[in-house]
Structure 1
């Protein structure tokens, strides 16, 4: 087995935390987002990257979501059941067509 020194681990952790701090929005601040739902409402405008909540940047990160699910076994089980139920429904619909 390979042994990794603490110095290397600290460098990796520091690099990961600095990358997380550098996440920026794909839209420049002040850009109109064309997401108006109501006729009477105003058109939403993009904010500065630091004005958004931290959890927003992890929503599309599969690894972060997997870690979050692993920490809550009830949510993990519910997700597994939903996936199994959808697969079962699809199979039953397919067999009903035959």
Structure 2
């Protein structure tokens, strides 16, 4: 058997039988169907069947329970004030260092101490790691 296998590999025409005996595999070209040109309408996003009115009044996907429905969007007056300030930009440490600490509001002072401590801890850790 091995001699036959070696002789067949020397010949210019390697047959499928030899490849099967050798343990080689033939894989398909990506699972595409014959005659398929690829990508067209199947890859396009499907258009939503919900009306614009329903989309603007409901938070879809927020209901995590099996029964019940998605919550409705309420007017801004129904939500707490702090909710609208969550995405406000907060000053960086370099900006806080340039300001006078005595005149900073409490929230900015608290942020300064937190960021300054974080930088100091990282510096101390890097010094200890090099020794």
* TM-score normalised per structure 1: 0.43
TM-score normalised by the chain length of structure 2: 0.34
Decide which structure has the larger Cα Rg and report it. 2
Higher normalized helix content (fraction of residues) = 1
Higher relative contact order (Cα pairs below 8 Å, separated by 6+ residues): 1
